[in-house]
Structure 1
Amino acid sequence: MIENGAVFPLFYLPPVDYFTKLNAFKPHIVLEVEEHFPKQTYRNRTNIYSPDGPLSLTVPVSKGSKNHTKTKDVKISYDFKWQRLHWLSLSACYRSSAFFEYYEDDFAPFYEKNFTYLVDYNREQLELLLRLLKIKIPLQFTETYEAAYPNLTDLRSTMSPKIEPDVEQKAYFQVFEERQGFLKNLSIVDLLFNQGPQALNYL
């Protein structure tokens, strides 16, 4: 196991703060996949900027995926067409941003192809995001669940939709900021679609 790094949860289109921390701890990162799946977290939800303010998008998980299911075993539910809803929402919110069309073809497959496990979906998206942001991190995953990591900074429960991020975020241009002002710590795609290749400099 690596030392002097950090253990991260695996999120769906993670918030900006997540990548700020990834960039700070790289390359000594390990991703948690053995924990019991906690509900109502960024593991299966993300926040984007809509004309009406923050919009939460949630990836539904199968009904057996309760608190005693390991994260790596949580299955995505396709009982309703959530992929279509998410893609329509992303398109509607960011079509007029400077870089949505530049990245559109990279993200579209995630809303067309079915993934069985949430962890695979999130991992492949994270790999794409790191590539687009030009952040080089070898992805390592937990092999057993550990309640504590003496040699690692434990970030598994520090980033939550219910907790204000502990970092200051400088404002960058957002499509609907004239309506609601600058909204901080939205999904990384908000930064990417608005700032494009400058996103890494921002982080």
Structure 2
Amino acid sequence: MENGAVFPLFYLPPVEYFSRLTQFKPNVLIEKEEHFPKQTYRNRATIYSPDGPLDLTVPVIKGAKNHTKLKDVRISYDFRWQRLHWMSLQGCYRRSAYFEYYESDFALFYEKQFDFLLEYNTQLLELLLRLLKIKMPLQFTETYEAEYPTLTDLRSAMSAKTPSAVEQKPYFQVFEERGGFIKNLSIADLLFNQGPQAINYL
């Protein structure tokens, strides 16, 4: 795989993720054999609320050990997080230009229960690629490799804890008159605000 990259599998990934995907496609490997790292975009996304950035976190069942492989991580339904996420997305983007256009595509992910985080994130990624019109077959790792000498390793490159170093041109955001442009939010922010133009932005 020449000029390829290894990507993590995120929940509603940030804009930077898709900018990089378009840069490396179709030579992209998605990591599914790694141990699940906590407090990352693997189960968290950031959207723009009236009060600024809002984190949405998919709760996972705590294993006896932290060394659970990503593909074995189960989603917790101890509280109704799907309802909370969907109400947050509706509340934040109902006024955006394209929310209604995509609403039915996303609603399914907040109505149906998925057992595993891997399955949930994979199906969401497939939807996002389709909506963005990025044609790219998903290929997954089959073993865990600490290093990939011939590939760009992006598994730790995009962190929920550190601001993105990637430059982003401002685009219209629903609450920008309150808090200014916020870069590198979830791809949902770009899609709901820019619709079919999102791919040109990327």
**Shared fold (TM-score greater than 0.5)?**
yes
Distance (Å, rounded) in 1 between the aligned partners of 2:58 and 2:34: 18
Distance (Å, rounded) in 1 between the aligned partners of 2:65 and 2:129: 29
Q: CA deviation at 1:57?
A: 0.2
Distance (Å, rounded) in 1 between the aligned partners of 2:5 and 2:181: 29
Percentage of identical aligned residues: 76
State the TM-score, normalizing by the size of structure 2. Answer: 0.98
1:30 match: secondary structure: strand
How large is the RMSD of aligned CA atoms in angstroms? Answer: 0.8
Aligned to 1:35: 34
State the TM-score, normalizing by the size of structure 1. Answer: 0.98
Give 5+ residue unaligned stretches, structure 2.
Answer: none
Distance (Å, rounded) in 2 between the aligned partners of 1:160 and 1:128: 23
For residues 121-166 of structure 1, give each alpha carbon's deviation from its aligned partner in whole angstroms, at most 9, with x where no partner exists. Answer: 0000000000000001110000000000011000000101112212
Q: CA deviation at 1:194?
A: 0.2
Give 5+ residue unaligned stretches, structure 1.
Answer: none
Counterpart check, 1:83 vs 2:85: no
Letter matched to residue 19 of structure 1: F
For residues 19-75 of structure 1, give each alpha carbon's deviation from its aligned partner in whole angstroms, at most 9, with x where no partner exists. Answer: 000000000000000000000000000000000000000000002175300000000
Distance (Å, rounded) in 1 between the aligned partners of 2:71 and 2:64: 10
2:140 match: secondary structure: coil
Aligned to 1:72: 71
Distance (Å, rounded) in 1 between the aligned partners of 2:81 and 2:116: 15
Distance (Å, rounded) in 2 between the aligned partners of 1:164 and 1:40: 14
Aligned to 2:60: 61
Counterpart check, 1:104 vs 2:98: no
Distance (Å, rounded) in 2 between the aligned partners of 1:202 and 1:66: 41
Q: Rate the CA distance shift 1:74–1:146 in 2: closer, same or farther, 3 A.
A: same
Query: How many residues are aligned here?
Result: 202
Q: CA deviation at 1:89?
A: 0.1
2:6 match: secondary structure: strand
Structure 1 runs, 4 residues or longer, greater than 6 Å off: none
Q: CA deviation at 1:167?
A: 1.2
Q: CA deviation at 1:196?
A: 0.3
